Structure 1
Amino acid sequence: MTESNGDITRQPRLFLDEPDMTSEAKKTYIGLDHCSYSPRHLGDSKHEFMECDCFEDFRDGVNHACGEDSDCINRATLIECVNGLCNHSCRTDCENQRFQRKQYADISVFKTKRKGFGVRANSDIEQHKFIYEYIGEVIEEEEFRNRMVKYDQQGLKHFYFMMLQTGEFLDATLKGCIARFCNHSCNPNSYVNKWVVNGKLKMGIFANRQIKKGEEVTFDYNVDRYGANAQPCYCEEPNCIGFLGGKTQTDAASLLPQNFADALGVKPSMEKKWMNMMKAKGEKIAKSDTTTVNIDFVNSLQLEPCTKTEDVNRVMSVLLQIDDAFIAEKLLERITLTEDEAMHYQFIKLHGYLICSRLIAMFEDKPDIVWKILNFLTVLPKTTKNGIIHSGIDKKVDSLKNNTRFEPVCEALLEKWSKYETYTRISKKDMTENSKVIDLRRIRLPFGWEIVHENGKPMYYNAQRQIKQANPPTDSAYRSTSNNNLSGGMEPNSRSATPSASTSRYTGSAKYLPAATYPQMQQKRTLSPEEYEKKKKSRVEWEQRELELRKQQEQDLLKARLDQEYQKKSELERIIEEANKQKELERLGKLRQSQEEEEMRKLKKQTSHTNAVENKWVKFFAQHVPNLIKNYQKDVGKDILKESARNIVKSLAQKEVKKNAVRSPPEELSKEKRAKVKTFSIQYMDRLVSKMKEKKGKKEQ
């Protein structure tokens, strides 16, 4: 087993002969079995727990449900199953309970030559294996900043922080577990990931490649040091640049939290390229005190559609917990760019209707985004109605009908969903009764297929194709899609080997460094434009064949039913009825097609016109607002002033469109209108300045 960094390949260094210092190391802190929360609400996840769709799978007295290679929804979205909450699915003690059952890797503490204590593997640790939970005290941001000052005044050489979520930090400096001794490396063999466990957010350390017995367990701290001086790095890796911390690393670490970066498809090279571009322009990389997201960087991204199940999994795991509207809008854009039906099925499977319901509530004051969500819902393939009912999306859409802009698409959605069928889920009893024929627990269905309950027996159902059968589906086309896209759960890409600003470890020797790239993490290459177009063309041709096949099947079914009735009638009646039915079918077909085309024309025209009018107002106000607020630059700074100008212009434009969606701006700004715009702009900036002064005053206290 070798480890690789770029063109450098070498055997990992082993520390088998170093004495075990675990007992001595544990005397340096107060041990915790679980994270402590003060106050108790800290660490709460935004995600409402839902059962997965797995079946219990007891073999040799062990429940193998929800394992590493399963299609468990919870596991794919970084959520652990909980005994007592999954009673109707995977039951109890499934394999997706590693944090709760403390299924830690065999590790111990040893003394390094220059880095103090370190952690080593006592046996081989396989890739993606859960190593240990990073345990400590979960505290609020104000307490975090107080402790930073306090620890520095006490002369502590090392202290250990991770940002759990916005405004909440995990401190393992005085209380924690042996995971706190994992050192930094510029070429790490593990990474940190955030999981939801029984309603709380937990930080876990996972192997990003195989770790040999005796090898030190390390991860990239990738942390903002709040202006601390750079310190020597002693990781001794071939790619080590020699320092941790300092201004350069502080700027680099502030771009984007790791989980957001993974969901947006951001790679380290993209961040590096953008930072070099900013430096070449002589522009400072601004850091916000209120968010870990660099808005300018995210806005510069050219988002791409999801092409693999891992892409959808990463996006959905963030959307299930997100409270950042800016990132939510960007992730929604990536989802709506996706046209692959297989990815649409994966979106629905991972609580997609619930996500859409929450996003509609989040953006209720932004009709353009709500419009985008509704239109995306119209292209989702047909499934059972269970997810729609459970999420309440049907009620949300029904409430939007009162808005004349949304009425047509809402009516179309409700009409579409009314034709979906509802089924009860497969019970343990149903599974047991049919296990003599086939083991339902080990079936990996192609996209679009579900196991449903009908008349006391399980059936295989494809709502989109309107097929129901007793035996497992053997459609080669769908199975090919399944095999290509369901090869496993989430795998860390070249970025996921490192914790981000939101999963960072704050220490006395901290630094942002690009994550190491390993051969195991590069097996799935990015398609070239030519390959992508070729695959896309192949997909379109296959979908066309499937559509024709489905139409032929529907026609065959209709013909068979008509033939049965035809035999019961006299020859004259058959001739008359056949002619009438043919005319009626043609009339209804033409009418339906005409209605659909008219609705689409109206929707496209209305959307295009509204956006065009709003853009005109934005350009109009942009000529005046910056001059009206330029005197505030000394109070808020150049960057915030620019951002405020954009916000004011956007608000003014939206107000004008809301008043009259068809009226374009005038040639010149009237005196009365200019006074109103000036008043609005000054009030906006006064409120902003007041908030900034109030916040500064609290920090000084």
Structure 2
Amino acid sequence: MVVADSVDEYSSPEKEPFSASDTENDATSREQDSKALKKSASPPPPKLFLNLPDKTEEALATFNLLQLSKYQNAKLGSCGRQTEDMTCDCREDFDTNTKVNHACGEDSECINRLTSVECLDESCSCGSDCQNQRFQKKAYAKVCVIQTEHKGFGLRAEEDLGQDQFIYEYIGEVVDEPSFRNRMIDYDNQGLKHFYFMMLQKGEFIDATKAGCLARFCNHSCSPNAYVDKWVVGKKLRMGIFAKKNILKGEEITFDYNVDRYGAQAQKCYCGEPNCIGFIGGKTQTDSARILPHIIAEALAVTSSQEKEWLKLMKQKGIKRSEKDDDTINAEFVASLEIKTIGFDEVPKITGCLLQPNLDFIVMEKIIDRVVMTEDETVLHRIAKVHGVEAFSTILKNILSAGSDDTTNLDQKRKLSDTEESLVFKVLKLMSAWPKMKYRNRIVNSQVELYLEAIVDRFNDDLTELAQFLLDQWKQLPMEFKIPKRLDGPSSQKEDILADARRSKNHDDSRRIDGKPLPEGWQWAVDANTGNIYFYNREKNLTQWEKPVAEKKPIALPKGPRRLDDEKEKIIEKQRRRDEDRKREKQERDAKLKQEKYKLEQEQEEIKRLTGLADIIAQAKAQQEELARLAAESAKETKHKKSSSQPVDCERLWARALASVVPNMLKKYEKEIGHDNLKLCAKDIVKVLAEKEVKRHGTSKPPVTFDEEKRAKMKSFVKPYMEKFVAKLEQKRQKKRSLSNGNGTSEKQPSKRHKD
């Protein structure tokens, strides 16, 4: 979910800063108002903003528009399966009148759509351009950007939207966690108040701060009308915004940011909903957020009320949430859940969750326990049908190869824990009880046999016996190869020709293969079920797997010299190809220049950031040189052989780490003591704290980021230090004023200090 404030940077000037006490008062009063409003008979009608002008063009100028997300490296965004694509069992439902393929629609039983996987033209049997390709087709809802009263830019629906309708994809730059944390610091140093991060999966984030799409303008609401869902498209994971309920034309589209923002200041929430908690960010926001991601909560049959009750119980017991920064779930909460059986309609949510890469072990364990507890045969059969093989193969992959796509280390003798072995045994036991399959296509595509063979090689107990049983059973199954057949009758022949044309439309020329033309009347296409090429001849009513061979024809007599027209056509064709080559080269040059320009802009921004920190770096460098000099002198006097560079380096590292935090704590004193005094104070505090940390921790390096406890200790040091400094400075100022007035008194009152 969004891990930084996603409200637009064009914040309203009417916003006023507020203190922690204001936050608590707002939260208390709004909670009382919320309880009172719950007693009302009917919810208020949705607010419409039809009168506000369209600000889309103005908003587009604030960031770089992307059509697709950019990945920091090829490994990011992986759905965890690098072999065969997941296919559905739907059949093409092509309307020859409207030229629309209605397969895999909203009300269909498409196993891909049920498990949040998009179909691909080249692999699924549902035919080309089915209804389950909304991300690929950019089938976005009609929306526009508006300027709200308090929240900056927002996104408005320009048409009525139905429940669960796809609204927009959340697009940006996909980065890893170290880059995400560095960008948070960089944006903060650049003075950006609002960040646009969304977690894609554990350790990966979508950053739409400087490059993205219109989805970045969706504001937060405590009672949203939209939600964010993760989908598999090809080999990548992508995030989409969907309608949580029916949305009227003119409504603002909102979703729940639902997370703590890493270091962002608490801000007032202007959603205006009856259940509004008063602000975005801070402790109360974290406590009110969902404990589990949407997809995991549905798979475990957890409601938001259950989560809130658990949080309330933990708060009463005085137990704080123990989630770490890189945790995606609360393991304590999951462990406390009571296991429930699975209903028929819950099956897609179960397998869809298990298909997620790098799923937490305790979540997999709880879901499999739900499957084991379920005795309804229809439910168990549906699990096997709705990508059950792929889901269980993903579990084995997560355990045996630690979620890595590299399967070369499966034969390593890493000992599994008792809980891991128990879960593997449950998975194999469930698969052995599945109804017998007719074909082994899905077995091969899921790579589950690879993991079973690793189990046979690594273990010598019941696991090996069960794994070998499944391997022997599946090896007897045949592979399914389908050759499309033409039905009798003129109308069916016409539709069949149309289907073949659609199957081969993704290729440049269905009458040529390997650069060579096929015999007259022959064409080729790709079988949707197997991905293999077959050949057909409609005139002769033939379909075959083998490449056709041309019939030998008598050698024709040579023709006379070419006519002038032929030479002219040849020259024209040559010129056309030359123009195309030039056009292509120009496009490549433009793309390269654009890429170099973007790289240059990034470098300039980095230089600008480094320039802003030049003073602090220069001070740290001076301290380092001075400490090095003192250390060298000390080494000569005491004749120690041990180098003194290590403590100096450690103190320099601590000083650099503290310099990224301490100045922000002193900003509120700048108006009172001046910028130069502020720099001197920051320098002195950093130096003192760095010396203390080196004495306390020795040669240990400082952490990348400081936790709340460490920041609190810093603040406890900064506060009395600055109070003393301000008091001394005020005394000096009074003394100067007294001398200037000549009577020893000053008419001005001392300035009021900031609240901590």
Alignment of 1:247-646 (within 5 A): 247-253=283-289, 255-309=291-345, 311-324=346-359, 325-364=361-400, 365=416, 366-386=420-440, 387-391=442-446, 393=448, 396-397=451-452, 400=455, 403-406=460-463, 409-410=466-467, 413=470, 422=478, 424=480, 428-429=484-485
**Shift, 1:163, TM fit:** 0.5
**Shift, 1:10, TM fit:** 2.3
Equivalent of 1:66 in 74, 87, 104: 104
**Shift, 1:208, TM fit:** 1.3
Alignment of 1:77-92 (within 5 A): 77-86=115-124, 89-92=125-128
User: Would you say the 8 A contact 1:45–1:196 is kept in 2?
Assistant: yes
Q: Which moved more, 1:7-16 or 1:177-186?
A: 7-16
The amino acid of 1:371's aligned partner reads: F
User: Would you say the 8 A contact 1:227–1:246 is kept in 2?
Assistant: no
What is the CA–CA distance in structure 2 between the aligned matches of 1:435 and 1:270, rounded to whole Å? 58
Q: Name the residue aligned to 2:71.
A: 37
User: Is the counterpart of residue 27 in structure 1 residue 61 in structure 2?
Assistant: yes
User: Would you say the 8 A contact 1:8–1:238 is kept in 2?
Assistant: no
What is the CA–CA distance in structure 2 between the aligned matches of 1:172 and 1:431, rounded to whole Å? 52
The aligned length equals 442
What is the CA–CA distance in structure 2 between the aligned matches of 1:166 and 1:286, rounded to whole Å? 17
The amino acid of 1:204's aligned partner reads: G
User: Is the counterpart of residue 11 in structure 1 residue 45 in structure 2?
Assistant: yes
User: Would you say the 8 A contact 1:162–1:169 is kept in 2?
Assistant: yes
Q: Name the residue aligned to 2:202.
A: 166
The amino acid of 1:314's aligned partner reads: K
Q: Deviations over 1:397-423 (max 9, x none)?
A: 5665662333554565567657x7647
- SS of the equivalent of 2:168 reads strand
The amino acid of 1:286's aligned partner reads: S
Choose between structure 1 and 2 for higher RCO, CA contacts under 8 A separated by at least 6 residues. 1
What is the CA–CA distance in structure 1 between the aligned matches of 2:225 and 2:256, rounded to whole Å? 9
What is the CA–CA distance in structure 2 between the aligned matches of 1:158 and 1:312, rounded to whole Å? 39
| TM-score of the aligned structures, taking structure 2 as reference length | 0.54
> 1:82/1:69 Cα in 2 relative to 1: closer, same or farther (>3 Å)?
same
Structure 1 stretches of 4+ moved >3 Å: 4-8, 251-254, 360-364, 387-402, 406-418, 420-423, 425-428, 430-436, 693-700
> 1:696/1:191 Cα in 2 relative to 1: closer, same or farther (>3 Å)?
farther
Q: Name the residue aligned to 1:499.
A: none
> 1:144/1:396 Cα in 2 relative to 1: closer, same or farther (>3 Å)?
closer
Q: Deviations over 1:433-461 (max 9, x none)?
A: 9997xx99xxxxxxxxxxx99xxxxxxxx
What is the CA–CA distance in structure 1 between the aligned matches of 2:449 and 2:68, rounded to whole Å? 40
Q: Name the residue aligned to 2:269.
A: 233
The amino acid of 1:375's aligned partner reads: K
What is the CA–CA distance in structure 2 between the aligned matches of 1:340 and 1:313, rounded to whole Å? 16
Query: What are the ranges of 5 or more consecutive residues in structure 1 without an aligned counterpart?
Result: 441-451, 454-692
Q: Name the residue aligned to 2:135.
A: 99
User: Is the radius of gyration larger for structure 1 or structure 2?
Assistant: 2
> 1:432/1:190 Cα in 2 relative to 1: closer, same or farther (>3 Å)?
farther
Query: What are the ranges of 5 or more consecutive residues in structure 2 without an aligned counterpart?
Result: 1-36, 401-415, 497-528, 531-698, 707-756
User: Is the counterpart of residue 242 in structure 1 residue 298 in structure 2?
Assistant: no
**Shift, 1:362, TM fit:** 3.7
Q: Name the residue aligned to 1:143.
A: 179
The amino acid of 2:60's aligned partner reads: K
What is the CA–CA distance in structure 2 between the aligned matches of 1:394 and 1:104, rounded to whole Å? 40
> 1:433/1:407 Cα in 2 relative to 1: closer, same or farther (>3 Å)?
farther
What is the CA–CA distance in structure 2 between the aligned matches of 1:110 and 1:5, rounded to whole Å? 30
What is the CA–CA distance in structure 2 between the aligned matches of 1:238 and 1:155, rounded to whole Å? 33
User: Would you say the 8 A contact 1:123–1:214 is kept in 2?
Assistant: yes
> 1:162/1:399 Cα in 2 relative to 1: closer, same or farther (>3 Å)?
closer
Q: Deviations over 1:62-88 (max 9, x none)?
A: 1111111112121111111123233xx
User: Would you say the 8 A contact 1:322–1:328 is kept in 2?
Assistant: no
RMSD: 3.1
User: Is the counterpart of residue 76 in structure 1 residue 110 in structure 2?
Assistant: no
> 1:79/1:434 Cα in 2 relative to 1: closer, same or farther (>3 Å)?
farther
User: Would you say the 8 A contact 2:77–2:237 is kept in 1?
Assistant: yes
> 1:255/1:241 Cα in 2 relative to 1: closer, same or farther (>3 Å)?
closer
- SS of the equivalent of 1:10 reads coil
**Shift, 1:226, TM fit:** 2.8
**Shift, 1:271, TM fit:** 1.0
Equivalent of 2:158 in 108, 122, 145: 122
| TM-score of the aligned structures, taking structure 1 as reference length | 0.58
What is the CA–CA distance in structure 2 between the aligned matches of 1:395 and 1:247, rounded to whole Å? 46
**Shift, 1:101, TM fit:** 0.8
**Shift, 1:43, TM fit:** 1.2
> 1:435/1:22 Cα in 2 relative to 1: closer, same or farther (>3 Å)?
same
What is the CA–CA distance in structure 1 between the aligned matches of 2:474 and 2:215, rounded to whole Å? 50
Q: Which moved more, 1:210-219 or 1:285-294?
A: 285-294
**Shift, 1:165, TM fit:** 0.8
> 1:94/1:13 Cα in 2 relative to 1: closer, same or farther (>3 Å)?
same
Alignment of 1:661-700 (within 5 A): 697-698=703-704
The amino acid of 1:135's aligned partner reads: I
The amino acid of 1:424's aligned partner reads: E
